[in-house]
Amino acid sequence: MSFAEPTAPRTALVTGSAGFIGFHLCQLLLDMGWRVVGLDAMTDYYDVRLKQRRHAMLSQNQGFRAVEDRLEGDGVLRALFDEYRPDAVIHLAAQAGVRYSIDAPGSYVTANLCGTFELLEAARAFPPQHMLLASTSSVYGANTQMPYAETDKADTQMSFYAATKKANEAMAHSYAHLYGLPTTMFRFFTVYGPWGRPDMALFKFTRAILEGDAIDVYNHGDMQRDFTYIDDLVRAIAKLIDAVPDGPEARPAPPEFDSISPVAPYRIVNIGNANPVKLMTFIDAIEASIGQTAKKNMLPMQPGDVPATWADTTLLQHLIGEIPSTDITTGVARFVEWYRDYYSV
């Protein structure tokens, strides 16, 4: 009896691997049998110990290689591409945060523009089978027609963070066209869950309520977000790896939904829950999970913010099939459970 040779595991390069989304994605890919090279700069935008803990957990898997360096560093990415020749590249590293981009816009130029340029240049030299780059729902900016569809015009960004992400989309499209790099840009919608970032609302609200402090509620609570649970998000990303634009496994989508470029192997895809939740309902879920009522500072809208987001996920469903969808009550409860355990509260 003869046996087929075992298939070698595929290699993924994940930038921002010690970040909230990167950590969860790396865990999933490792569980799926991928080899994962994780690059992270371990910047001090928030508690570095949280990032170090995430990388330490990933490093327990022998299929994971941790690299601590800045993606905008001269030759860093090119050397990694050359050494590992990744099959898929998932670019999540970025300076995040709408509000922080008002205080420190220069950090967004360095990380989001220069860093992404270095990534594209490395991919130009050593082309992977698929490039997947993170964008954000914030690029829809002042659009008021909802749900947001990938084919909607998105030229009115309201924060510098969003502007850098829209620039990333344009940069990636040009490289996809010029050098034939199959590229998917995914626009995230308010991701939340265990191991989340301390600057995000769920983390800040949970901490404040447990410590007896008031929470800041902007636009007097008249806001809604398309909250997307972290496990649902990374499962969608993993499925999109094989949905290569113009590739053999790509399925043509209905023209009214497909955001694929007419001149390049390039597509934009929303990843959201397609079910916007009112901010006050979100706060209610946190209060119920903790068992305490929050003290609330009702404040006006912050500069750069938008009152609502809502993803049209028709294209995503067409590309990957059934979309995982965790309800807000379950997702918030899982975060609160993680927070209590991690901080021994």
Please provide the size of the chain in residues.
345
DSSP output for 176-234: HHHH---EEEEEE--EE-TT--TTSHHHHHHHHHHHTPEEEEGGGG--EE--EEHHHHH
pLDDT 10s digits, 173-218: 999 999 999 999 999 999 999 999 999 999 999 999 999 999 999 9
Widest Cα–Cα separation across the chain? 73
Active site residues: 161
CA dist 53 and 198 (Å) reads: 14
Q: pLDDT grade, residue 168 (50/70/90)?
A: very high
* Cα dist from 167 to 41, 92, 113, 157, 176, whole Å: 22, 15, 7, 11, 14
CA dist 30 and 32 (Å) reads: 5
148 pLDDT exceeds 90? Answer: yes
Q: Which domains does the chain have, with CATH numbers?
A: 11-189+230-271+310-325 (3.40.50.720)
Q: pLDDT grade, residue 167 (50/70/90)?
A: very high
Residue with tokens 């750069």: 304
Q: What is the pTM of this model?
A: 0.94
